[in-house]
Amino acid sequence: MTDMLHPAFDGASLLPLLATERTGNLPALLTTKEVAQALRVHPETVERWRRAEGGPRYRRLTGGAIRYTAADVAEYIERSVQGSGARRQG
């Protein structure tokens, strides 16, 4: 499935890719395409997550541009990976 992270993917390996450049106190902002590349999914998948309010937190800038901080993407990865190895009890 294209919008799921690879099973062996632990999120921690992504952190160097999301290292933030800072200008003063402002964090670097990532585009939808950059987030998709980092998560190894199609940009439309990130857009679908955004519409469903299930993906990383984002900011809508003046003019409508969508941007993500590296910290929000990393937090999304941690949320998504937690419990992925949990067993169902039934």
62-71 contacts, C-beta under 8 A, 24 or more apart: 66/31, 66/32, 67/29, 67/30, 67/31, 68/29, 68/30, 68/31, 68/32, 68/34, 68/35, 69/20, 69/27, 69/28, 69/29, 69/30, 70/18, 70/19, 70/20, 70/27, 70/28, 70/30, 71/20, 71/27
> Is 0.75 surpassed by the pTM of this model?
no
The segments of the chain whose pLDDT lies below 50 read 1-3, 5-8
* Res 79: pLDDT: 85
CATH number of 27-81, picked from 1.20.1630, 1.10.10, 1.10.15, 1.10.3470: 1.10.10
Write down the pLDDT at residue 3: 44
